[in-house]
Amino acid sequence: MTQSSDNIILVKAPALKTLVVKIFSQAGSNPRESELVADHLVEANLRGHDSHGVGMIPLYITNLGLGEAVLNVHPTVMRDLETMVVLDGGLGLGQSIAHEAMEIGIKRAQKHGSCIVALRNSHHIGRIGHWAEQCADAGLVSLHFVNVVAEPVVAPYGGKVARLVTNPVSIGIPRQEKPPVIVDFATSKLAHGKIRVAYNKGVDVPEGALIDSMGTPTTDPSVLFEDPKGALLPFGDHKGWTLAFACEALAGALTGGLTVKGPAKRPAVINNMLSIIVSADSMGTAPSFFQELEGFVQWAQSAENGQASSVLLPGDPERATRSIRLAEGIPVDKMTWRQITQAAESVGVAERALAAALEA
Length of the chain: 360
Q: Does 206 bind ligand NAD (CB under 6 A)?
A: no
128 lies in the site for ligand NAD, by CB under 6 A: yes
Q: Return the number of other C-beta atoms located less than 10 Å from residue 352's C-beta.
A: 9
Sign of torsion over alpha carbons 242, 244, 249, 255: positive
- Beta carbon nearer to ligand NAD, 153 or 357: 153
Name the minimum Å distance from CB 348 to ligand NAD: 28
Assign 162 to helix, strand or coil.
coil
Contact range with ligand NAD by CB under 6 A, out of 72-80, 99-107, 122-130, 209-217: 122-130
Least distance (Å) from ligand NAD to the CB of residue 167?
A: 7
**Nearer of residues 149 and 358 to ligand NAD, judged by Cβ:** 149
Helical pair 13-27 and 351-359, crossing angle rounded to 10 deg: 160
Task: Rule CB under 6 A: say whether 127 interacts with ligand NAD.
Answer: yes
Contact status: 129 vs ligand NAD (CB under 6 A): yes
* DSSP-based three-state secondary structure for 126: coil
- Burial class of residue 348 (count of CB atoms within 10 Å of its CB; 0-12, 13-18, 19+): exposed
| 124 binds ligand NAD, rule: CB under 6 A | yes
Q: Is 184 in the site for ligand NAD (CB under 6 A)?
A: yes
**Which of residues 185 and 290 has its CB atom nearest to ligand NAD in the complex?**
185
CB atoms under 10 Å from CB of 89, counted, come to: 28
The two counts, helices (H) then strands (E), for the chain are 12, 12
Query: Quick check: helix, strand or coil at residue 341?
Result: helix
Query: Among residues 92, 174, 180, 314, which is the contact residue for ligand NAD, using CB under 6 A?
Result: 314
Q: Mention every residue, 6+ apart, whose C-beta is less than 8 A from residue 110.
A: 138, 140, 279
- The three-point CA angle 117-182-234 to 5° equals 85
Q: Which of 42, 136, 186, 357 binds ligand NAD (CB under 6 A)?
A: 186
Instruction: State yes or no: residue 317 binds ligand NAD (CB under 6 A).
Output: yes
- In the Cβ-directed half-sphere of 60, how many Cα atoms lie within 13 Å? 30
Binding flag, residue 264, ligand NAD (CB under 6 A): no
In the complex, least distance from residue 84 CB atom to ligand NAD, rounded to whole angstroms: 23
Tell which one of 12, 17, 40, 52 touches ligand NAD (CB under 6 A): 52
> Applying CB under 6 A, does 271 fall inside the site for ligand NAD?
yes
Residue from 191, 197, 233, 274 that binds ligand NAD (CB under 6 A)?
Answer: 191
- Enumerate binding residues for ligand NAD (CB under 6 A): 49, 51-52, 124-129, 146, 148, 166, 168, 170, 182-186, 190-191, 194, 271, 312, 314-315, 317-318
